[in-house]
Amino acid sequence: MGVKRIPIEELDWDDLRIFLAVIRSGNLSQAAKTVHVDHSTISRRISRLELCLGGALFERRKDGLQKTLLAEQILPQVEAMEGGAVALRENLTGYGGREPAGIVRVAMMEGIGSLYIARRLLGLSSMYPLLRIELVTSPQLVNVNRREADIFLSFFKPEGRGMESENIGLFTLSLYGSDKYFDLHGKPKSSEDLVNHKFLSYIDDLIQVDTVRWLDEVISNPSIVFSSNSMLAQMAAASSGLGLVLLPRFAVANEPKLIPILANQVCVTRELWLSVHADLRYSNRINAVFNYLKNIISVDQEFLSGRG
């Protein structure tokens, strides 16, 4: 006797919510932590959803769970349902009211998050005391569509359905070194001299965002003596005299040991993009943070681009 199918009329939003958690985490254990239930409950609810939908949603593989065609087909509709639920919750809890309130999670690369944005949040707190900012710094692409963050500040225009992105400015990067390095190795007088110098950079096989491969635009096959997935670690190593490093101007504003070199010959530029899920774009709390970030980057544009 086969397993009895559950009528589609009994489709449960909680099961769909758990389905999204499994999709986004890639495994049952992490999904259980996300929605604050135990592993067996996640497994049971997914099985119930499969009985309701009439097919398997995941295939178990050595590297985790793989979505089936059925899962791919229902995902856009389930995400749309989630967007509606988010909007409804905001209206019912007052987040949709006049005063922006609640938590807004903003994601970006470590360097710009820790060395620039985090230093400029006092004004936002003063304007909107009921807001609470969660700043996520990650070397990886953050998926706004999967609700890993409410707002994503990136060096490129992210791709994805249901997402709105806006180019809000740009920043430039220049080469920096310390007096200790120059005492040991001399100071390059031209870009041609760079082949004789040592460099610091990102770990190549850990780079998941190609826009941080900025050193490639300055020199081919540089002599790398130190690499890290952290811009802060690269800065510290450069300050100690270990090598030359390509950095944004905002990163070195409070690092007096790092001295710019070849400013008129070496200059790399990156765009800045703010992205938000379309369902949240006009939420008061999201809009308040989005516009604040957009404004500070506009005000600082000459500084960020190296013109001021």
Write down the pTM of the prediction.
0.71
59: CATH: 1.10.10.10
Spatial distance between the Cα atoms of 38 and 43, rounded to a whole number of angstroms: 9
Structure tokens belonging to residue 45: 């609810």
> How much is the pLDDT for 288?
92
Q: Are residues 104 and 130 in the same domain?
A: yes
Q: Are residues 256 and 278 in the same domain?
A: no
> How much is the pLDDT for 2?
58
In a domain? residue 308: no
Q: Are residues 158 and 192 in the same domain?
A: no
In a domain? residue 307: no
* Burial zone of 19 (CB within 10 Å; 0-12 exposed, 13-18 middle, 19+ buried): buried
Q: Are residues 68 and 86 in the same domain?
A: yes
Q: Are residues 85 and 106 in the same domain?
A: no
Q: Which of 92, 127, 160 is the last residue of a domain?
A: 92
> How much is the pLDDT for 235?
93
In a domain? residue 41: yes
Q: Are residues 43 and 184 in the same domain?
A: no
Q: Are residues 240 and 287 in the same domain?
A: no
Q: Are residues 139 and 287 in the same domain?
A: yes
Spatial distance between the Cα atoms of 32 and 287, rounded to a whole number of angstroms: 31
Q: Are residues 150 and 232 in the same domain?
A: no
In a domain? residue 113: yes
Q: Which of 75, 92, 109 is the last residue of a domain?
A: 92
Q: Are residues 138 and 65 in the same domain?
A: no
What are the percentages of helix, strand and coil residues in the chain, rounded to 5?
A: 45, 20, 35
In a domain? residue 179: yes
Task: Give the residue carrying structure tokens 């499994």.
Answer: 22
Contact partners, residue 149, CB within 8 Å, separation at least 6 = 105, 106, 107, 136, 142
Q: Are residues 177 and 261 in the same domain?
A: yes
Q: CA-CA distances (angstroms) from residue 197 to 177, 185, 222, 266?
A: 11, 7, 8, 15
Torsion of CA 110, 209, 219, 254, to 10 degrees: -10
Mean pLDDT by 10 residues, the chain (308 residues): 73 85 80 82 88 87 82 82 68 61 88 92 92 82 61 85 85 94 94 93 81 87 92 94 94 90 88 86 85 94 81
Q: CA-CA distances (angstroms) from residue 49 to 52, 56, 167, 191, 255?
A: 5, 9, 40, 61, 55
| Domain that residue 186 falls in | 171-269
**Quick check: 305 and 170 in contact, CB under 8 A?**
yes
Q: Are residues 208 and 120 in the same domain?
A: no
Q: Which of 92, 118, 151 is the last residue of a domain?
A: 92
> How much is the pLDDT for 100?
83
- Any idea what the Cα angle at residue 7 is, between residues 44 and 59, rounded to 5°? 40
Domain count, the chain: 3
In a domain? residue 29: yes
> What 3 state SS string does 82-119 have?
HHHHHHHHHHHHCCCCCCCCEEEEEEECHHHHHHCHHH
In a domain? residue 2: no
